[in-house]
Amino acid sequence: MNETIFDTTTSVPERSKVAGPLIDVRGVGKIYGSTTVLEDVAMTVRPGEVVGLVGPNGAGKTTLIRILSGMSRPSRGEGTVLGRDITATTGRVPFMGLMVERPMFIETLNARRNLELLFSIRGVVDGSTACDVLERVGLDPSERKAVRTYSLGMRQRLSLAQAIGERPALVVLDEPTNGLDPLGIVEMRGLVRELADRDGMGVLLTSHLLAEVEAVCDRVVLMHGGRARRVYAPGDADSRSTMVLEVAEPSDIERAACITALEVIGREGPLRMRVKVHECVPDVIRALVGAGVGIEAIYRDGNGLERAYMEAVGE
């Protein structure tokens, strides 16, 4: 891995020019005593990419994040995170933006003072950055109220601010939408995409909100029982070609199944089915109309991750 990634004074756009993934690990496992909590996990995160990590409680997400952030050594496996060998025994930990699930700040200070103190530890940004980043996450930099009076949603925003304020190459967000209202969730989604698309940061996030993960991530690693069961890519051709077809009558289902432009992959009640389309959507619609299928609706399957998740967890 190129050493320039360690240069914390380098701006993100310059750093993101560095070739190679920010996270590149293979065969990662962790054993506590006789209990295997993580087994054979491989993962990559590249600059400008948002990768999700989903799975039920106990799937190994937190253990994996602890290993990736240098807080724990893997029992097996290899790879690098920001150029640091994850098996290294040294105490050196690479800087990454971290947003932990239970954000904790100095309760008696306001948001700006908290950020200034955290930023002063590495000393790579000045105090004015605190104001800028607070505005960016939707908090008022001139707010004098102590953090102890903040709602969970405001704490989440502040936690995100401390994670991104120093413009790290890699940001790890643990449950970033936890406690946010619907508007906050939408804003958080936009902000995460912006970090990747505009700032070139690599983002690894965990969440239980599958629809949100699907909306914001380029790839999603589905974990269960300590293993990465599957990697789902919401934007890939396979996912995009999966659609839901709703028809007027039950007999339309049979007629639609005979069309070569699509393939039925699942029925959901008498008037709805999931199909894989083999041609562009207008051509598929023409074929359906030509076959006399009464189309009520046809739309892209927005629950692909949910299905993939259920399959992965059910395995």
Q: Give the binding site for other proteins (CB under 8 A).
A: 32-33, 66, 69-73, 91-96, 98, 100-104, 106-109, 117-118, 120-123, 162, 174
How far, in whole angstroms, is CA 303 from its chain's centroid?
A: 16
Shortest spacing between CB 257 and other proteins, in angstroms:
51
User: Is the separation of the CB atoms in 228 and 43 below 8 Å?
Assistant: yes
Residue whose CB is less far from other proteins, 84 or 219: 84
Residue whose CB is less far from other proteins, 45 or 243: 45
Residue whose CB is less far from other proteins, 103 or 153: 103
Residue whose CB is less far from other proteins, 153 or 234: 153
Give the position of tokens 């505009």.
198
| Widest pairwise Cα distance in the chain | 69
**How many C-beta atoms surround the C-beta of residue 314 within 10 A?**
8
CA pair distance 113, 237, nearest whole angstrom: 47
User: Of 191, 196, 194, 124, which Cα lies nearest the Cα of 159?
Assistant: 191
Structure-block tokens of residue 38: 């993580």
Element (H, E) at 287: helix 281-290
Shortest spacing between CB 93 and other proteins, in angstroms:
5
Residue whose CB is less far from other proteins, 86 or 261: 86
Q: Name the strands in the sheet holding 50-54, side by side, starting at the edge strand that comes first in the sequence.
A: 97-99, 170-174, 202-206, 50-54, 219-224, 227-232
The residues facing 76 across adjacent strands are 29
Shortest spacing between CB 297 and other proteins, in angstroms:
44
Shortest spacing between CB 118 and other proteins, in angstroms:
7
Classified as helix, coil or strand, 71 is: coil
Element (H, E) at 189: helix 182-197
Residue whose CB is less far from other proteins, 157 or 229: 157
User: Is the separation of the CB atoms in 36 and 30 below 8 Å?
Assistant: yes
Residue whose CB is less far from other proteins, 122 or 300: 122
Residue whose CB is less far from other proteins, 59 or 222: 59
Shortest spacing between CB 306 and other proteins, in angstroms:
28
Residue whose CB is less far from other proteins, 65 or 312: 65
The residues facing 298 across adjacent strands are 245
Q: How far apart are the first and last CA of the chain?
A: 36
Q: Phi then psi for 146, rounded to 5 degrees? A: -70, 150
Shortest spacing between CB 9 and other proteins, in angstroms:
13
**How many C-beta atoms surround the C-beta of residue 28 within 10 A?**
25
Shortest spacing between CB 22 and other proteins, in angstroms:
14
Q: Judging by DSSP bridges, how do beta strands 50-54 and 219-224 pair with one another?
A: parallel
Shortest spacing between CB 39 and other proteins, in angstroms:
16
Shortest spacing between CB 123 and other proteins, in angstroms:
6
